[in-house]
Amino acid sequence: MKRYIIMLGALLSLGMMSCSEEWMGDVIPTDKLEDSQAFNTVKDGRNAVNGVLSLMQSSSYYGANYIVYGDLKATDVRSSAINKRDDEMYRYTETTEAGNSSMWTQPYKCLVSVNNALANMDKMVADGAEEETQKAEIEANFYALRALIHFDLLKIFARVPSSVDNPAAELGIVHADHVITKDEQPARKNLEEGYAFVINDLTKAIELMPDVATEGWFNKTAMKALLSRVYLFNGDNQLAYDLAKEVIADSNYSLVPFGDYQASWTSAYNNKEALFSLINTDDDNPSREGIGYLWSKGGYSSMMITLSFKDLLYSNANDDRIKAIEEDVHKDDDGNITGTDYLCIKYPDEFANNLHLIRLSEMYFTAAEAIYKVNAGNAAEAATLINTVIEARTNESDVLAAGDINIDRIITEKRKEFIGEGHAFFDLMRNKKDVVRTGDDHLVVAPMNIAYNDFKTIQPIPRLELNVNDNIQQNPGYAE
């Protein structure tokens, strides 16, 4: 699935005339927009969707940090050295004053544009039945994007509902259900309200979404896949399973066949497994701050795959996923090998890469985890689901039996599939599993055991936000 992203020229017409470092500062209120500032045509609306997607390519968001975070905080990826980029994620040393504040501000900047667009949908004139369909698609995509962005913020700055006793008693995030201006000081909603908001927006998006879709945007199947993921995090396991199975049944998508795994990450490959992707083009990418440059041995090479994970994956020499790992062999002046590092090459270009945010293989693992949680007696079905992915990657059938299935085994098999894609940490948190790092290649400054309920497993609200909003409550354990 290919996406052709344009830069955000259309965002200027949506009221994002100037956006300060504080995400709610200097924003033109929706009700103050002049007609000349609002979009009026379907073409304007389509440009606006592309503009938001381009904002999401920022290195502070999906261009790097929102993917890197889920790997560096888990067990299978480490920093290559102290003080490398994003090293604080790996070491759990983020503070209120830390430089990761853009992980809060950038998504909210995206929401400014989304909400301005939704507030001005009635000004968009559709000319004929075809444009009416396109208008419905545009509106549905804005609701889906608003849901995705809120969900992402909840994952970083709040607990996972399935890991706490009472989500209504836990802090969530600020809900941007309208353009929040500098005169407002909104408080955080609770965690239960946060997930209800996300689910409501996604449900609305699915209802609005026509059967046809623009290549590269959210379509109805991708929306269902995202909602299935949200349900799993929320502990709605039967709902997660039901939707995941719907997605799996869509004949428009299929797992990458055995032998094609490495090629599937290149921009030239027609990837029928990719449900929703962002594309960094040569002209529109985060440059040297993007995830491709962070992994590349010709770039910053700021992350390495741990030896314990390498041993796990390489235990089956026939596993196609080994080809998505590159060996970086070091030699001394005499040509003797002094060491080998292992790099993820799912982002083979230093700048222009396909960022597959939702893949079909995830739905097999979601369905397996969800149905097993509904009833452990469903272990045979869970094994069948995971075996489908294993066979596509190893060309070996029926590897797992019902007796092999438990949550730890599901997580382990998923680690093999999604190394470098930012899932690992959240899979642990969702299942109340501590981060337990093994091996002697971890940096000496890195914590080896982090409890799932440690306050450092969620991020602090940044100081710049606390300074401009007296109603924002800091996460427990961090300085106000």
- Res. 306: pLDDT tops 90: yes
- Res. 7: pLDDT tops 60: no
Question: Which residues are registered as beta bridge partners of 304?
Answer: 78
Q: What is the DSSP letter of 472?
A: P
For the chain, the helix, strand and coil percentages under 3-state DSSP, each to the nearest 5 = 50, 10, 45
Is residue 118 within 8 A of residue 201, CB to CB? The reply is no
Question: Which residues are registered as beta bridge partners of 468?
Answer: none
CA distance linking residue 417 with residue 43, whole number of Å: 38
Q: Which residues contact 1 (CB under 8 A, 6 or more apart)?
A: 215, 216, 271, 272, 274, 275, 276, 277
- Res. 33: pLDDT tops 70: no
- Res. 323: pLDDT tops 60: yes
Query: How much is the mean pLDDT over the chain?
Result: 91
Which is higher by pLDDT, 284 or 432? 432
Q: At how many degrees (to 10) do helices 220-234 and 191-208 cross?
A: 160
pTM recorded for the entire structure: 0.93
pLDDT tens digits along 151-178:
999 999 999 999 999 999 999 999 999 9
- Res. 367: pLDDT tops 60: yes
Among 390, 389, 293, 392, which Cα is nearest to 343's? 293
pLDDT for res 289: 92
Q: How many CB atoms lie within 10 A of CB 403?
A: 9
- How does residue 91 score in pLDDT terms, banded at 50, 70 and 90? very high
CA distance linking residue 476 with residue 478, whole number of Å: 6
Instruction: Among 7-16, 86-95, 105-114, 356-365, name the one with the lowest average pLDDT.
Output: 7-16
pLDDT for res 29: 38
- Res. 432: pLDDT tops 70: yes
Is residue 447 within 8 A of residue 431, CB to CB? The reply is no
- Res. 85: pLDDT tops 90: no
Set out the domains of the chain in order of their start, with CATH numbers. 1-218+451-480 (1.25.40.390), 259-272+300-348+358-433 (1.25.40.900)
pLDDT tens digits along 390-410:
999 999 999 999 999 999 999
Beta strand pairing status for 435-436 and 449-450?
antiparallel
